[in-house]
Structure 1
Amino acid sequence: MSDSDASAPHVPTATTSDEVKPSLLSENERLISVLQTCFQDLIAKQEEQSEKIHKAIEGLKPPAPVQDKKTLFWNSYMKLADEYDNDFQQKYSTDLNTGLIFAGLFSAVSSAFIIQIQPDLQTNPTLKIIVAQSLLFISLFTTLLASLMAVLGMQWLMYYQAAGSRGTTESRGRERQRKVEGLHKWKFKAILQIVPLLLQLALLLFTTALSVYLWTIHHSIALIVIILTGLGFGSYLVLLGSAIISPDSPFQTPLAPILAKAVYDPHLDSMV
């Protein structure tokens, strides 16, 4: 080897990018791993603290009172009573509201016919005119009576709904039971069923009066009304008979339970 070669400085070999990348990746991975460990420890400590706080709060709450058999009984009673009362209120409130609407419309129709044939009473009225006018007045009075009973029925339901609205569970339950017994004693359901019966009677009287009046004007027109009235009344009797024969019949009417009780079993108090 020559002197020139020996005196030449040694130049280090440059590292390639492939040799640097693994070193950088390993450093980043270690840093990420350390950060993940720190975060996991922090989350675990927070969960532990939250659990301790939750237990402390639960410990500060007063223990749930132990209910005796009497309290459990009245709570169960009021729960079942509320379900029954809600169905009871909804059924009869709907029936009475429907009756009021029908009575209002029917009263207007009856009044119009009364006004129409009123002049015939002032000039030598015949017996048929007198009968027709009398039936119309009875029909109108029956409708007004049904309206009055429907209004009273709504007030009675509101009075019953106010039963047991204050006080302890036991006092409310006893008050409610007292009023329920009063409903059965005074036949409250049967009284409310009079409203649709009066409306049905008013409709029958009206169609009868209309048939009698039209007979004095034109027999053919009166005959058509009589036939239609007979068909309607006959259909009603058929449906009423099916309800009396079979309690499962869907064609129940207010009169059906009363007749079924009178015909088959005088002890069917629950049906009335």
Structure 2
Amino acid sequence: MDSLPSDQKLRSDFVDFSGKGFLEELQNCLKTVVRDNQEQMRRLVDDLAPKKPVVDKKTEFWNAYRAVSDEYDKEYQQKYGTDLDTTLIFAGLFSAVSSAFIIQIQPQVQDSNPPILVLVAQSLLYISLGATLLAALLAVLGKQWLMYYSSAGESRGTIAERGLERQRKLEGLRRWNFNTIMRLFPLMLQFALLIFAVGISVYLWTVHHVLAIIAMMLTATGFVSYSAFLVSAMAFTDSP
């Protein structure tokens, strides 16, 4: 009589063990195991991944400064380097032409009583040649100045020291008005070209009046056109 309730109890426990509650408990256990395994795998991957270097705010600032300054310096050197190269090429060609005309007129100046117009023409040609050579000399100095500035980031030291040196040289360029000096080279060459044209016109007047008039008309046309372009550039912001 005592064994019957015990058998019924075991049978009921078996039913509960194989019922819906057991399946839910088993699923929860499996989910927990899977979640733990995924967490362990994630930690293992994080441990194997290369660690990023720790950068303080100061180093991060100078890295950003270097990136911006390198881009600025590249455009700056390309702009003025091209202008200086053009100035040197034009000055070399123009000085050769001026020297040829000076040599052509030189025998007439060496006479005992040379004409006044020949002396004036020769003087103007010498002034033109001198202005051209001066522009070439300043262009060479400008190239050296620009090369000195471009070497700022190549010096030894920490990134902060190189950045400070580059900033010091940039402020030096601004203090000494490097941009203004760069604008003087084209003006000097244009002045030399104008003086050369006037000198040729004066000399041609001693050779033949018609040739002199043609040269004067061309010189006047060029001067008026240049003046008109200059005025339009100052009057209109969209003028090239």
**Scaled by the length of structure 2, what TM-score is found?**
0.77
Which amino acid letter does the alignment assign opposite residue 94 of structure 2? F
Structure showing the higher helix proportion among its residues: 2
Aligned pair partner of 2:167 in 171, 177, 180: 177
The aligned runs of 1:6-45 (5 Å cut-off) are none
Which amino acid letter does the alignment assign opposite residue 240 of structure 1? L
- What's 1:148 paired with? 137
The aligned runs of 1:204-223 (5 Å cut-off) are 204-223=194-213
**Does structure 2 conserve the Cα–Cα contact (< 8 Å) formed by 1:111 and 1:140?**
yes
Which amino acid letter does the alignment assign opposite residue 189 of structure 1? N
1:39-73 deviation line (CA, Å, top 9, x unaligned): xxxxxxxxxxxxx9xx77x7456521232322222
- What's 2:84 paired with? 96
- What's 2:236 paired with? 246
- Cα distance in 1 between the residues matched to 2:52 and 2:196: 66
Corresponding residue SS for 2:207? coil
**Does structure 2 conserve the Cα–Cα contact (< 8 Å) formed by 1:164 and 1:171?**
no
Figure out how many residues of one structure are paired with residues of the other and give that number: 196
Which amino acid letter does the alignment assign opposite residue 159 of structure 2? T
- What's 2:182 paired with? 192
- Cα distance in 2 between the residues matched to 1:102 and 1:90: 18
Aligned pair partner of 1:133 in 122, 133, 150: 122
Per chain length, whose mean CA-contact separation is higher, i.e. which structure has more relative contact order (CA < 8 Å, sep 6+)? 2
Deviation of 1:109 after TM superposition, in Å, equals: 0.5
Corresponding residue SS for 1:64? coil
- What's 2:10 paired with? none
Deviation of 1:172 after TM superposition, in Å, equals: 1.5
1:8-30 deviation line (CA, Å, top 9, x unaligned): xxxxxxxxxxxxxxxxxxxxxxx
- Cα distance in 2 between the residues matched to 1:81 and 1:185: 18
Aligned pair partner of 1:107 in 78, 82, 95: 95
- What's 1:120 paired with? 108
- Cα distance in 2 between the residues matched to 1:144 and 1:130: 21
Which amino acid letter does the alignment assign opposite residue 152 of structure 2? A
- What's 1:41 paired with? none
- Cα distance in 2 between the residues matched to 1:61 and 1:198: 63
**Does structure 2 conserve the Cα–Cα contact (< 8 Å) formed by 1:163 and 1:176?**
yes
- What's 1:36 paired with? none
1:170-202 deviation line (CA, Å, top 9, x unaligned): 112111111111111110111122222211111
- Cα distance in 2 between the residues matched to 1:247 and 1:229: 28
Which amino acid letter does the alignment assign opposite residue 65 of structure 1? P
Deviation of 1:221 after TM superposition, in Å, equals: 0.9
Gaps of at least 5 residues in structure 2 are 1-40
Which amino acid letter does the alignment assign opposite residue 131 of structure 1? V
Corresponding residue SS for 1:249? coil
**Does structure 2 conserve the Cα–Cα contact (< 8 Å) formed by 1:146 and 1:199?**
yes
Aligned CA RMSD, in angstroms, stands at 1.7
Which amino acid letter does the alignment assign opposite residue 86 of structure 2? T
**Scaled by the length of structure 1, what TM-score is found?**
0.68
Which amino acid letter does the alignment assign opposite residue 127 of structure 2? I
- Cα distance in 2 between the residues matched to 1:92 and 1:134: 32
1:140-175 deviation line (CA, Å, top 9, x unaligned): 111111111111111111100001223222112111
